[in-house]
Amino acid sequence: MVNEKTPLETSKPVVNHLASCLSKLDNESCKSVAGQAISIVKPRQFQFDQEDTLIKRELAEVFSAQKNYEQAARTLETILIDQSEKSFREKAEVWLMIAENWFEADDSVNAEIYVNKAAYLMHHLEKCVDIQLQYKSFHAKILDSKRQFTLAAWKYYSVSNQQGIEDEDAYQMLQCAVTCTVLSPVGDQKFRLISTLHKDDRVKTLEVHYGLLDKLFMGQVLQPTDYDQ
């Protein structure tokens, strides 16, 4: 069906229909069917780029649901991006999906590669609030993973104030901002962070995090047990 003897106008709708049906299968069936479809399409991957992408995204979702994040990331890495005619948004989505799975696999080094790839597209996607939020939160996580806690704290806090962010995500960013502030080196920037976060009413609802922040604001020295929290 996908060999060169079959016209694309005949074979592409069939493969596209197959890709659209994968989400209706159970996880194991999806992995089996998707794996076979990818192998069949591979010789003509460029011609079947859209269908190949759909299949691999569905397969990656299954791997991710099964907490096999590395396999999910590696599946997405085989999608044609640089050589394809995908839109800026489509490219950024795939790169950020790969980064997310590498983060979940506790591999910030590989995650950073794809966050950096997405960075080059952000000026084309200024109106895509969801993409911008995801990119900025991942950038903060990269700084955090590099133990650049002061920069990470400011970045997390900035993301928490972004227009369009969900409340749950905003509070998660605030928690990360406080944690990085606690871990940041002593200095003027740390004091500014403490002051900024301490007067944010949202932080006051984060019982444990606000407790730590309040101690720092009052000039108290945190004890080892405080860091365990």
DSSP 191-211: HHHHHHHHT-TTGGG-HHHHH
Q: Which amino acid belongs to residue 216? A: L
> Residue 84 has what pLDDT?
73
> Residue 2 has what pLDDT?
55
> Residue 170 has what pLDDT?
96
Ranges under pLDDT 70 in the chain: 1-10, 221-229
> Residue 10 has what pLDDT?
62
- 55-62: long-range pairs with CB below 8 Å, 24+: 55/18, 55/19, 55/22, 57/94, 57/97, 58/19, 58/22, 58/23, 58/30, 58/34, 59/22, 59/30, 59/31, 59/34, 59/35, 60/97, 60/101, 62/27, 62/30, 62/31, 62/34
DSSP-derived letter for residue 42 is: G
> Residue 38 has what pLDDT?
92
Q: Note the pLDDT tens digit of each residue in 75-89.
A: 999 999 987 789 999
At residue 79, φ and ψ (nearest 5 deg) are: -70, 135
Rounded CA separation 38/59 (Å): 10
Domain boundaries, the chain: 1-85, 147-229
User: Angle formed by the axes of helices 88-104 and 69-77, to 10°?
Assistant: 150
Q: What's the full length of the chain, in residues? A: 229
DSSP labels, 118-177: HHTTGGG-TT-HHHHHHHHHHHHHHHHHTT-HHHHHHHHHHHHTSTT--HHHHHHHHHHH
Rounded CA separation 200/187 (Å): 21
What global pTM score does this model have? 0.88
